[in-house]
Amino acid sequence: MLITHSHCESYGHLQRWAVKVLSGLAIWAVLGLTAMNPAHSASDEELIIRVEVTDRSEVTIDSAAREALARALLQRSGDRSLLEQPAVQAALASARAQLSLFQFERVQGITRFVAHIDQNALEQLIREANGTLWAELRPPILLWLVVDEKDGRRFGNQAGEEALWETMTVEFEALGLNLRRPLYDLPDSLLVSPEALWQRDFDALIEASGRYGMTHLLVGRLIRLSEGRYIAEWIYSDGAQERFSTVQADSLASVIEPGVQLATAEMRLRYAVELTGAATQRSLIISVRNVISLEDYKAVTRAVASIQTLERVRPLSVDGDTLVLEVFGISEPETLMRLMASLQDLQWLTSDPERGLELVWRDS
């Protein structure tokens, strides 16, 4: 048989068409598998909480289990009021049953109850209580202290403030936040003085904090009175706005509490997402552009499935280089944006529900 130039072109066209069809079938096979599997996230790992105990009795186990579960809920939500919700109260009453595993360890003469808690179960409990969950990507808070004394104003970096710093660090960690402090060295002093801190010179404060790459700031202005009493003002700044809280207190704990509440409340406004039972019945449609190859499809679906609190991902269509997905378990675009902050290869183009939620895949 004589094969002409036109036959060759027709054969080449059919070959390219066949490759395209087979690639499409392969892509939909992958997407079908993605849709059937539940979304998995970094929170699949267990949370391990250690509680110091004096013995291994049944009463101690029940008590330590309650404390461990309560600590885990606070770390994941940052909300103390969550512990008062009926669903959480019921879980705390049977805390031992909520653990994946528990054991004891003894280190340097100290016995600890070690609780293993499944984070998916923890998120579900928070959802049942209509609580909030910290987004994975949230910045640390930089704490600046300035003390007013009879000899003048100074940075709060002396031995007298060490107990305050240590206590605040523990309090913030218990609520799932990372508190840091500056070095208070010469470069800091050249950028912001104790007097500038006291006078609320936010320009100098922001410049000095930029040395540490931090924009979420907590400033404590302390006056020590007689008999262990204090006057304190706490200022939270994110570079765009400031919030204030003033207190007169007769104990270190009473001085610290308004600062912890102020900073935690502001961080929750920015980095906590609401989990509600209604959200499980709603969904969002997202379009992802620049999904060109089969590897892109696999990577995008894996990335979307890794989002916190997501219950299910369902592929809807493929149109050219655009993949359209339906995600379940998140009902608000703002919530989805917060939870996707750590996914650097997926960048938002639009987040208006009326215009559509569009992203672009930028494979690094």
Asked if pLDDT for residue 122 goes beyond 90, the answer is: yes
227 domain residue, yes or no = yes
Domain boundary among 218, 246, 273: 273
**Range 47-60 average pLDDT:** 96
Neighbours of 253 (CB within 10 A): 12
Asked if pLDDT for residue 234 goes beyond 90, the answer is: yes
List, for residues 174-216, the tens digit of each pLDDT value: 999 999 999 999 999 999 999 999 999 999 999 999 999 999 9
β-strand partners of 245: 234
Write down the pLDDT at residue 131.
92
Could you give the number of structural domains in the chain? Answer: 3
Within this chain, do residues 120 and 154 fall inside the same structural domain, yes or no? no
Write down the pLDDT at residue 277.
63
Within this chain, do residues 259 and 289 fall inside the same structural domain, yes or no? no
- What secondary structure letter does DSSP report for 214? -
Using CA atoms in the order 157, 255, 167, 271, what is the torsion angle rounded to 10 degrees? -100
Write down the pLDDT at residue 353.
64
136 domain residue, yes or no = no
Write down the pLDDT at residue 142.
98
| Whole-number Å distance between alpha carbons of 42 and 326 | 20
Q: Which domain holds residue 181?
A: 141-273
332 or 13, which is more confident = 332
Write down the pLDDT at residue 281.
53
CB of 129 closer than 8 Å to CB of 203: no
Within this chain, do residues 121 and 154 fall inside the same structural domain, yes or no? no
**Range 305-311 average pLDDT:** 79
List, for residues 259-296, the tens digit of each pLDDT value: 999 999 999 988 898 887 654 457 888 889 999 888 88
Asked if pLDDT for residue 49 goes beyond 80, the answer is: yes
The per-residue DSSP string of 107-167 comes to ETTEEEEEEEEEHHHHHHHHHHTT-EEE-S----EEEEEEEEETTEEEES-SHHHHHHHHH
Within this chain, do residues 250 and 298 fall inside the same structural domain, yes or no? no
Domain harbouring 72, CATH code: 3.30.70
Within this chain, do residues 174 and 120 fall inside the same structural domain, yes or no? no
Asked if pLDDT for residue 317 goes beyond 50, the answer is: yes
Within this chain, do residues 302 and 220 fall inside the same structural domain, yes or no? no
Domain boundary among 256, 273, 290: 273
Asked if pLDDT for residue 171 goes beyond 70, the answer is: yes
| Whole-number Å distance between alpha carbons of 58 and 1 | 88
257 domain residue, yes or no = yes
In angstroms, the first-to-last Cα distance of the chain is 50
pLDDT level of residue 249 (50, 70, 90 thresholds) = very high
The mean pLDDT value of the chain amounts to: 85
Tokens of 80: 């103390």
